[in-house]
Amino acid sequence: MESFNKLRLVGVATGVALAYIAQYFFNQPPLSGSFLNTVPAALQNPLTLAAIILLAGAVVFALSAPTARARQSDSPQPVAGRFVDHPSPLARPLFLATLLAYGGCMALYLLNGESALVRWLWLGSVVLVVVSQVPWESLRRSAAGWTGAWRSTLLPALLLLIAAALRLTRLADLPQDLHGDMASHGLQALQMLAGAVPGIVGVGWADIPLPGFLPTVAAMTLTGDHGTLGLALASALGGVLAVWGTWVLLRTVQSRRVALIGTALLAVAYTHIHFSRIAEYMDPVPFVVWSLAFLAIGLQKRSSLPFVLSGVLAAWASLMYFSGRVVFVILGALLLYLLLFHRPLLRANLVGLAWLLVGGLVALGPMTVYFVQHPGAWLSRSQQVILFNPAVLEHSRHKYGVETTGQILLEQLRRTALLFNYTIDSSTQFGFPKAMVDMVTAPWIVLGAAYGLAHFRRWGNGLLVIMLGVVLLVGSVLTDNAPFYPRLIVALTPALGLAALAVDRTWDAVEDALGKETGRIVLVVVVGGLLYIGLVNWVSYYQFAAHNGQPRALVARFVSTLPEDAVVCIVPEEDAGWIHSTDEREIDFIMGERRGEQVAFDENGAPGV
């Protein structure tokens, strides 16, 4: 057995080494020199060579890594007894009140449209459906037991503090750039604050549902800041909540060690940090992550409250930025997975899935009616960015230099497959000149994904692989300009969870082959590696974001330093230029009460307004 463990460690080490050799080639310029004579012509492209080496390393690792020790959450079995819903004497009366509030909300909206009463009934129905399923007695027992287990929360709490520090430090002026889409998001929120928008049932800027602007409205209201701080605060807090949700999700479906490593990697990931510091794109992410976390808890505990919360959060995710709607595809894929591999678990939780549906419908409220009446508002963005849109296909042909749809799909697939190791962001919202994660973390994601596929029947592995695969397929392969990071932020949770799983399997391989005492050495290496990754990621991001301001953003930030009664005069550039008036949305968002004028010069050089 000892020799087998050592042989297995050799296989694991070989897989890790090959993955890092591949990452080295991903980061190198094209090969040249006498070395080319020893390499077949087909492999002289470093990307091809790196991809082959990476695939080989992933296969070797997946076949060699030890299987995780059995845990209940790996394949949760149905517990004895019936599914627990209506867990308190007040549950049924409260649920009846939920139905009355929801029915009244929908009826009033259908008859008279939106009103304050409709909104209050909507909110009340959501609160009531959640409260109706709270097991108060169990909560009291859990609270009593928590006092003896508080030490187990110290490390997760420390990671959350680090995540908060990296997302809140200099939030008002980092990143330096203020993207036009962020400004438009802020302008919509300001209109809602000013009462210029009559309600929240409908869509706003770019056909984003009006509830999707409420986090920014709330942040601006709470801080009293209608500038860049109020604009970004909701995303920063959402980023911290997403890190917390990742801890809960990974702790539910994997071991504590995997959860700690995965949460730490997410806390210091530069892509996650960036989108936590700009408006809009982070908004749906915590809802998606927490929805899946509560689903996992519900399947394990067989009680209604987690399912209700999962449905409510999934619905709210779909009302944020468009990428949140991927949660419905993930939920559908997970149900299919359970049907194929864990049918007893699915049957035991059919009541829970019904509660998930109830929670989702109640949380959507009159927005359900709105989208039925205006299907274009729900479908417009998908139709614009779907790969098979004729305009997108034509754009992709020119961009990739290919002719057929099949060739376009292959290129989209290639760019998506190399998302973590090589391909850079195609969006102007970030445009960081590196892959989605750092070069130390990237190989572990591929190794973890390979291990997860090799042990796909284990519930925790299956959930992470499905979550990652669905997001990459829907948000990258099948949409234009892959990879477009704003659509892919939620992919970081399963990707880094799988990276942590690969580290965990390597850790066990070392201990099995060399003895438990070597685990202390591995612990030092892992902690040191995480500290190094965090430091390098923050420094790299800070150096990039502190000087990435575009001309309109720089003018807008200068305007923000002027007195409120200042008059801002703009000399318009030529048509191809950046700045033409104070109506440019980046400048307009910052203007506040300041008056703007456009200055022109006559043929004699005399200014006029």
* Distance separating alpha carbons of residues 437 and 445, to the nearest angstrom: 9
Rg from Cα positions in the chain: 26
Give the count of beta carbons closer than 10 Å to the beta carbon of residue 326: 23
Alpha carbon separation from 527 to 436, 500, 530 (Å, rounded): 22, 12, 5
491 in any annotated domain: no
In a domain, 440, yes or no: no
Backbone angles phi, psi at 303, to 5 degrees: -135, 155
Q: What share of the chain is helix, strand, coil (3-state, %, to 5)?
A: 70, 5, 30
The encoded tokens of residue 409 equal 């799909």
Measured distance CA(443)–CA(26) in Å, rounded: 11
pLDDT of residue 594: 85
**pLDDT at 281 (0 to 100):** 96
Question: Which residue type does 355 have?
Answer: W
State how far the Cα of 570 lies from the Cα of 568, in Å rounded to an integer.
7
Distance CA 310, CA 352 (A): 10
User: Cα torsion at 458, 459, 464, 470 (round to 10°)?
Assistant: 110
CA dihedral 459, 269, 9, 11 (to 10 degrees): 80
Tokens of 153: 């929360």
Whether residue 602 is contained in a domain is answered as yes
Please state, in angstroms and rounded to a whole number, the distance separating the CA atoms of residues 449 and 50.
17
What Cα–Cα distance (Å) separates residue 30 from each residue in 35, 36, 45, 523, 525?
Answer: 12, 10, 6, 37, 32
**Mutual orientation of helices 228-253 and 284-301 as an angle, nearest 10°?**
20
CA angle 541/547/550 to nearest 5° reads 120
* Rounded Cα distance, 154 and 174, in Å: 29
Does residue 512 lie within any of the structural domains?
no
How many CB atoms lie under 10 A from the CB of residue 437? 26
* Parent domain of 569: 551-608
In a domain, 586, yes or no: yes
Kindly state whether residue 169 falls inside one of the protein's structural domains: no
Domain count, the chain: 1
Closest by alpha carbon to 430, among 548, 319, 262?
A: 548
Tokens of 277: 């510091």
Residues in the chain: 609
CA dist 117 and 99 (Å) reads 16
Q: To the nearest 10°, report the CA torsion of 585, 586, 591, 596.
A: -60
The answer to whether the beta carbons of residues 100 and 323 sit under 8 Å apart is no
Phi, psi of 26, deg, nearest 5: -60, -30
Mean pLDDT, contiguous 10-residue spans, the chain (609 residues): 87 96 85 60 75 96 88 54 81 95 97 96 97 84 62 90 97 92 94 93 95 96 93 97 98 96 98 96 98 96 95 98 96 97 94 96 97 90 89 92 92 95 91 93 98 96 98 95 95 98 97 92 96 97 93 88 86 74 84 82 65
- Give the type of residue at 381: R
pLDDT at 79 (0 to 100): 52
Largest CA distance in the chain: 93
576, β-bridge pairs: none
d(CA 384, CA 234): 27
Q: What is the pLDDT of residue 137?
A: 78
Give the model's pLDDT for residue 80. Answer: 54
Q: How far apart are CA 296 and CA 71, in angstroms?
A: 14
Amino acid at 234: A
Flag whether 452 is in a domain.
Answer: no
**Alpha carbon distances (Å) from 174 to 155, 171, 273, 283, 533:** 28, 5, 11, 18, 20
Has residue 571 been placed in a domain? yes
- Alpha-carbon distance 338 to 343, whole Å? 6
